[in-house]
Amino acid sequence: MIYRIIGDAAMLFHFTFILYIAIGGLLAWKWPRTIWAHLAVALYGLSISIFAWTCPLTHVENWGRRNAGQAGLSEEGFIDHYLTGVIYPADDLREVQIGVGVLVVLSWTGLAVLTAQRRRRARTPART
């Protein structure tokens, strides 16, 4: 039972991690200090995509599932197992990756604009 929980927890954390890659920059609009965590996560996600690394969470999920007597993830990994062909068509993986990259860049750009506006307002004396 504990191995199944480990496998499920790794899967949930993996989904959360990928979701944070996509929308973490938008969350930083509300909580600007989180941009540094998002930068690290986004760079890590980009590295995995560019260098075709296997995420350690995939290894943890496979280990938990196999020890629980379940099938592990396919050789292609987490994204191909849970997302490709389920959330978006299998032929659109590259377009989805580019879309997420564009979303990240736009969210960072929006944060830069918001930060500049906030600083400008903070320097401007209040009118009475």
Q: What is the pLDDT of residue 55?
A: 87
Q: What is the pLDDT of residue 128?
A: 62
* pTM, full prediction: 0.81
Closest residue by Cα to residue 110 from 40, 35, 44: 35
Q: What is the pLDDT of residue 83?
A: 81
Q: What is the pLDDT of residue 80?
A: 80
Neighbours of 100 (CB within 10 A): 18
pLDDT tens digits for the chain (128 residues)?
899 999 999 999 999 999 999 999 999 999 999 999 999 999 999 998 889 888 899 999 999 999 999 988 877 788 888 887 788 888 888 898 899 999 999 999 999 999 999 999 888 876 66
- Give the dihedral of Cα atoms 41, 46, 51, 56; nearest 10 deg: 30
Give the C-alpha separation, 34 to 26, whole Å: 10
The helix (run of H) or strand (run of E) holding residue 106 is: helix 93-123
